[in-house]
Amino acid sequence: MFLFSKMGKVTRYGDAGPGSKGQAMSVVFQLRGQTFYALNRGPVYKLNPAVSFFIDSKTQK
């Protein structure tokens, strides 16, 4: 089994920045069937152990 099973949408910076035009801003991908959403933190934010979780659901309830 391949490590990356599916590459999804890539959103890129435009003229307004804050990154260089064309640089990846966010990437959606699957890793062993689990969907992940990666954000380009850029030079402003320092690497830290923080993590955010997104949960898809049909209703808020």
**Structural domain for 46, as ranges:** 1-55
Does the predicted TM-score (pTM) go above 0.85? no
C-alpha distances (whole Å) from 55 to each of 16, 35, 44, 49, 61 are: 30, 10, 27, 20, 13
What's the pLDDT at 40? 85
Domain CATH code at residue 10: 3.30.720
Total structural domains in the chain? 1
C-alpha distances (whole Å) from 9 to each of 14, 24, 35 are: 16, 10, 11
Q: What is the largest CA-CA distance in the chain?
A: 40
What's the pLDDT at 43? 73
What's the pLDDT at 20? 87
Is 2 a residue whose pLDDT tops 70?
A: no
Structure tokens at 23: 């640089």
In a domain, 10, yes or no: yes
